Amino acid sequence: MGPSDSHGCVLFDQVLNSNDRTRAQAQGGGATSDNSKDKRFLCMFCNKGFSCSQKVEIHQRVHTGVKPYSCTQCDMRFAEAGSLKRHQRLIVHTGERPFACTHCRKRFSERSYLRIHQQSNHSTR
């Protein structure tokens, strides 16, 4: 493909600085944007740009299906640590519900669920 770093991603700056811009776009996957210098690392599958190698490595799991984070209480696996943490907070495993509604004291495992509850039950619209 093109120049790559140790994480298997194309360095955007090196592709753009090649002699033939058309060839670079073909190798890099299309047109560039104004903020391309901030997104030096490209996904080797879809050429989406990222600002650091760790972010592109996590993104590439969408394409590879790699799920390095596994739940110790069930067979579920996750591509991101945050997704595992959210899963483990579910009622099935811990019953933890750290987000409480200030109007009715109902509790939720995720902040987004609390927001939805408040909008649909306590909104003054």
What is the arithmetic mean of pLDDT over 5-17?
A: 43
Pick the CATH number of 69-121 from 3.30.565.10, 3.40.30.10, 3.30.160.60, 3.40.50.300: 3.30.160.60
CATH 3.30.160.60 domain range(s) in the chain: 69-121
What is the arithmetic mean of pLDDT over 55-60?
A: 94
For the ranges 8-22, 58-72, 76-90, the lowest mean pLDDT is seen at 8-22
What is the arithmetic mean of pLDDT over 65-69?
A: 96
Does residue 29 register a pLDDT over 60?
Answer: no
Query: Tens digit of pLDDT for each residue in 74-106?
Result: 989 999 998 998 888 776 688 888 899 999 989
What is the arithmetic mean of pLDDT over 17-37?
A: 42
pLDDT of residue 91: 63
Q: Name the region of 5 (left: φ>0; alpha: ψ -120 to 50; beta: rest).
A: beta
pLDDT of residue 36: 52
pLDDT band at 125; cut points 50, 70, 90: low
- Write the CB contacts of 75 (distance below 8 Å, at least 6 apart in sequence): none
Query: Tens digit of pLDDT for each residue in 37-56?
Result: 688 999 999 999 999 999 99
- Cβ atoms of residues 99 and 107 within 8 Å: yes
